[in-house]
Amino acid sequence: MNPVESTTPEPNATVPAAADLSPQAFGRQVFLGALAADAVAMPVHWYYNQSAIERDFGLIDCYHAPKPQHPDSILWRSEYRPLNERGDILREQAQYWGRRGVHYHQFLKAGENTLNAQLAVELFEQVRRAGHYDAERWLDSYIEFMLTPGRHRDTYAEEYHRHFFTNYASGRKPINCGVRDIHIGGLVQVPALVAALGPRHPELREIVQTHVALTHKDADVLAAADVVVRILAAVSRGADLRETILDEAPAWISAAKLKKWEAAPDRIVIGGILSSACYIPDAFPAALFLAYRHAGRPADGICSNAQCGGDSCHRGSVVGSLLGATAPLPERLVTGLANASRVNNN
């Protein structure tokens, strides 16, 4: 199905159940979906002109490297000056801030993940090795990752990173460096915890709240994170994704809205009715909408998410995780994903 023109599946369309998967296999499928959606969207991340996406990449159905120039980049008016070496998270990338046309992910290759998703993989591996979650251990790893030259090649660091390391550089303890950030980027690491601990871990909801609040103290972001966990736990037990979205997320999306939007293409709903930007009040309903519409067809939803533009990487992490709960990714999206082996080998 054309990812741009896709609409709601037939009412009687079946969505594959996940109850026959082990919690570990289910978690990996969820996390691979999140990472694939981030990587597919990476070259068009923060394209707000949807026609520019088609001009540069056509209809997206696979991984691409970014173009040398980004048509909607605002790095030319973005600025971050570290207080001292404890806040120097841009390092070699700092020279590109303040320039016009710079792509946020200019040095990434096709199938590679953006910074937030790379951190999610680090978190997944740490929790899998330890067998449990430790907030202070994670903060130590996060700080080391961000301050070590060469750990990643991404040019852009989202606002929450800059706020966190400004606080850290000022002398605050890491546990107190988070801020009230309202972006959907705060949900990117949730699928990593679901995969590392299992969707039915008895303390998963509490752990996710603790973890997200380390960097995103906003009540709506925390509420959205809990919705994602509850949906994935239910689907892992065999619940239908569409029914579960309506049951668990009534504050964010409703059957009435979905009915109203059913005839509109994805990129009219997202970018027209709902903002394609990063702010959680619209970004999370947009992710739920795409997951509902494309349930059972993860590749269609992942590619359509990218085609919609805006904060497609971070929104895509949610879309991909929910769709990954309904069906495995096609092999082409697994083999082309740079971090796939790090998920499958843990």
What are the sequence ranges of the domains in the chain? 23-344
- pLDDT value for 5: 39
Give the max Cα distance, the chain. Answer: 59
pLDDT over 70 for what percent of the chain?
95
pLDDT digits (tens, 9 = 90+) for 128-149: 999 999 999 999 999 999 999 9
Q: What is the CATH number of domain 23-344?
A: 1.10.4080.10
**Degrees, nearest 5: CA angle 304-192-282:** 45
- pLDDT value for 1: 36
Q: Between 346 and 300, whose confidence is greater?
A: 300
Mean pLDDT of 201-225: 98
Mean pLDDT of 38-43: 98
- pLDDT value for 17: 53
Distance of CA 185 to the CA centre of its chain: 6
pLDDT over 90 for what percent of the chain?
93
- pLDDT value for 71: 96
pLDDT value at 251 more than 50 = yes
pLDDT digits (tens, 9 = 90+) for 95-132: 999 999 999 999 999 999 999 999 999 999 999 999 99
Mean pLDDT of 153-182: 98
With a CB cutoff of 8 Å and minimum separation 6, the contacts of 304 are 3, 4, 6, 266, 267, 290, 294
- pLDDT value for 14: 45
Give the lowest-confidence range in 17-21, 37-41, 46-50, 243-247. Answer: 17-21
Mean pLDDT of 241-267: 97
pLDDT value at 11 more than 50 = no
CA distances to 48, 242, 266, 278, 285 from 270, rounded to whole Å, are 11, 18, 6, 12, 10
Mean pLDDT of 304-320: 98
pLDDT value at 13 more than 50 = no
